[in-house]
């Protein structure tokens, strides 16, 4: 589906907004799986004698830490985005009571 489309994003159907939030949450799941995979790091002995002499464990560990930080940042940003999108959908929804209240106010203004 992609990003909801409307009049510059302000007149988008709340259902489309919810769908967008669901898509972002699905992406979150993939990021979380990748972050969880970091728990299964390669053992130092896996690089062999030459790999250890070349510092491969240190290089891979540093790279892994950088990737972990990037994934964690992406997850945090996505969580913020989902919360903002859900709030947007909530604000865009007009309940039946909202409509009744609006009509009552319009009648009061009309009567003076």
Confidence at 15, pLDDT banded by 50, 70, 90: confident
| Predicted pLDDT of residue 76 | 92
Average pLDDT of 6-22? 74
| Predicted pLDDT of residue 71 | 92
Length of the chain: 112
* More confident site: 95 or 87: 87
Q: Could you tell me which of 91, 70, 68 has the C-alpha nearest to residue 18? A: 91
Q: Could you tell me which of 17, 28, 4 has the C-alpha nearest to residue 86? A: 17
Condensed to tens digits (0 to 9), the pLDDT of residues 34-83 reads 888 877 777 778 888 888 888 888 888 888 889 999 999 999 998 898 88
Outline where DSSP puts E strands in the chain: none
| Predicted pLDDT of residue 7 | 55
Pick left, alpha or beta for residue 26 (phi over 0 → left; psi -120 to 50 → alpha; otherwise beta).
alpha
Q: Do 19 and 82 contact (CB within 8 A), yes or no?
A: no
| Predicted pLDDT of residue 2 | 58
Work out the angle at residue 32's Cα, subtended by the Cα atoms of residues 26 and 37, and round it to the nearest 5 degrees.
135
Express as a percent the part of the chain with pLDDT over 90: 12
Place of tokens 């990037």: 70
Reported pTM: 0.64
């Amino acid at each position: 589906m992609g990003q909801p489309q409307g009049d510059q994003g302000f007149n988008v159907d709340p259902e489309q907004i919810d769908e967008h939030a669901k898509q972002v949450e699905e992406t979150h799941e993939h990021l979380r799986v990748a972050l969880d995979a970091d728990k299964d790091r390669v053992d130092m002995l896996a690089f062999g004698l030459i790999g250890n002499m070349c510092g491969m464990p240190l290089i891979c560990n540093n790279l892994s830490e950088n990737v972990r930080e990037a994934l964690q940042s992406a997850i945090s940003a996505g969580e913020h985005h989902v919360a903002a999108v859900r709030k947007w959908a909530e604000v865009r929804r007009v309940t039946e009571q909202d409509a009744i209240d609006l009509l009552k106010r319009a009648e009061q203004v009309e009567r003076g």
